[in-house]
Amino acid sequence: MTYLEESQAAGREIFPDLARAWALFGIALVNVGVLSWPMMSSYHAAGATVSSIDEAAWFGVNALFLMKSYSLFSFMFGVGFAYQMQSAERRGVGFAGRYWRRIVGLLAFGALNIACFFIGDILVIYAVLGSILFLFRNASQKTLIVWGCIIYAIQILLVSAIALMMYLGVTFAPEEMVAVTEEFAVADAKALEIFGSTGFAETAAYRVSEYLSGFPFMILFQGFGAFAFFLFGLAAVRSGIIARASAPIWKPARRFALPVGLLLSSAGGWLLVDSHGMTDPRMLLGLVLVTIGSPFSTFGYLGVIAKWAEGTPGPVTVFFARGGTSSLTAYLMQGLIFSLLFTAYGFGYFASLTAAQTIGVAFLTALFSVAFVSLWRVKFQRGPMEAILRNWTYLGAR
């Protein structure tokens, strides 16, 4: 059975699968910055931006993908949650037990990803937030949208508060900020030592330690926004717009929301590039602008993807949509490839490539991961990681 035949038989539209494929490209381009250079400095490190091409490439990632890709990925998590409930209802089976097993499975995959591949894994956060999402399973569309807006507003306020504290610190307590800068430099030196010269076991232990210590920070900068988009995705299924690429809402999304979002994100992205690191207030102001612009950009991207999904899909559209059906496999594969490229036990390119080179590698990695799972799905019903997660979720039942 072909992908289109399978989708039609399951009553599934191509639109959500294209959205997942789109998100996977952006996630690779954003993630590689903290996999190839020390996390605290990233492309601010000496040697990362040696030309205007490097700065332009970094600016492009900030303006087009930073926060937007994970917002889109989070939106699709909410969509998947709704689809799981609908599937359980159609089959006349209980939803709760299967869903909690899925959450545990995501937690396990996240722990594996942290130890083996990626210090900034999102799956553990999704598992934690997914536990809270269960409380909204019977909420109305209006309730989901209202709570989503409130929670995202909290995300903006949190990032703004951190930016303000950084500004106040630089202005009124410069000596303390110098000490913070020195702490960040020590952390970067440790990352250079670990990823540049140690074996797998020591690198894995470092990843786990850094993830646990940085988890509250990641919740502050990602958690509230991700959960808001969980709710928006669930609401999109409730309203039916995610199943209709021709729904009227998608036209103003790409015509009006997208320009607003890209304008805000471009301003924020430039500040990120033009700043001098984590203790520069301009960097956090840039993050504030990107955070504000993210919902507009994400909504606009969905409008563009909806336009792409309209009509009879051609072979290229089908190829990428099929790759989007196995986003877990593609996401973990990206981490695997990056870890092999940028660690001492792999090819040892940590802190070696410029920003433009690194981003180019990330694009090729994203393309390879989506292409791999798309070709895999020609022969197999599910991606390899999806098959494992499904067998655990359903305990082997079909």
Phi, psi of 344 (to 5 degrees): -65, -30
Give the span between the Cα atoms of 265 and 301, in whole angstroms.
13
The parent domain of residue 105 ranges over 3-394
User: How far apart, in whole angstroms, are the C-alpha atoms of residue 147 and residue 150?
Assistant: 5
What is the per-residue pLDDT for 316? 93
CA dihedral 236, 384, 330, 203 (to 10 degrees): 120
Structure tokens at 198: 């140690």
- Amino acid at position 21, single letter: A
- Tens of each residue's pLDDT in the chain, 398 residues: 666 656 655 556 899 999 999 999 999 999 999 999 998 888 988 788 889 999 999 999 999 999 999 999 999 999 999 999 988 888 878 889 999 999 999 999 999 999 999 988 999 999 999 999 999 999 999 999 999 999 999 999 999 999 999 899 888 888 888 888 888 889 999 999 999 999 999 999 999 999 999 999 889 888 999 999 999 999 999 999 998 899 999 999 999 999 999 999 999 999 999 988 788 889 999 999 999 999 999 999 999 999 999 888 899 999 999 999 999 999 999 999 999 999 999 999 999 999 999 999 999 999 999 999 999 999 999 999 999 999 999 886 65
User: Which pLDDT belongs to residue 398?
Assistant: 54
Q: What is the pTM of this model?
A: 0.94
Q: So what's the pLDDT on residue 135?
A: 95
pLDDT for residue 280: 86
**Total domains in the fold of the chain:** 1
How many whole angstroms separate alpha carbon 129 and alpha carbon 134? 9
Q: How far apart are CA 263 and CA 60, in angstroms?
A: 12
